[in-house]
Amino acid sequence: MGLFRRKICNYNESETKSIQDVQDKGERSMTLEELRTEVPELENYLRYMPKELESRYFIRVYPPGTIIHQKDFKLDYFGIIARGEHRVINEFQNGNIYMIEKNEPVDFVGEVTILAGMEKTSVTIETLTETVVIYFTRRDFEEWIKQDIHFLRLVAGKVAYKLYRSSYNRGARLFYPPQFILLDYILKYAAAAGIEKHGKIIVARTRQQLYEECGITVKTLNRTIKKLEEDGVLSLERGKISMTREEYRRAREMIHHYISY
């Protein structure tokens, strides 16, 4: 699945593009005050924002499946993701895609690149649901964090949390067998989907998406799914992975057996 087949919407294309240019094109679909009312969690982040920035921003609303932050692009804007889920991915020259993480709001666009003092972005961000982003110029963001230690701590805390999460799990895909990796993924998916309440879930992921998110090749995935189905911890319905409440409970009891499979 190539990134460039998806819709790409990136504001780092031109060094000279101004906030006013963007606003004049009608891309500011709502005001910051309206968004603050709609997303109360934003208040903690914007509490001490410099007054001059109240007129120096723009807001974009993206549909699912949109690239809003492209790897190796020059970064001219910083964004606050106020609403919507997204995934952070790394695409390599051989066409393979590695999903680094999924994130929920409130989150940021470009903070790692800016805090690291780098010119170009290191990852790609793709929306999973409708996503609302507040943009400021890179220069305005850099001035903002010089003045607002509260905001700087929130940004740094978010970066540190992601690094902690990544460090804690780093190496799992190298040293755990595919049965454990896939079953662990499905168990987490089922729990998030409320399997105990609903009694059954369907994993709404294609084999390609599972490959990107679990790091298991499609060929190995098919063998792994067959093995787990034979073990009675999941089922297949029209090619999709499904799991009942009983299978979920059985899988939770059995998963440690797959660690050294």
Average pLDDT, the chain: 86
The 10s digit of each residue's pLDDT in 100-114 is: 888 999 999 999 999
Residue pair 162/170 in contact (Cβ under 8 Å)? The answer is no
pLDDT score at 173: 66
Q: What value does the mean pLDDT take over residues 120-130?
A: 93
pLDDT score at 157: 95
Q: How far is residue 50 CA from its own chain's centroid?
A: 28
Question: Does position 261 have pLDDT exceeding 70, yes or no?
Answer: no
Burial class (CB in 10 A: 0-12, 13-18, 19+), 168: exposed
User: Whole-angstrom Cα distance, residue 87 to residue 68?
Assistant: 11
Alpha carbon of 239 to those of 157, 208, 213: distances in Å? 41, 13, 18
Question: Does position 239 have pLDDT exceeding 70, yes or no?
Answer: yes
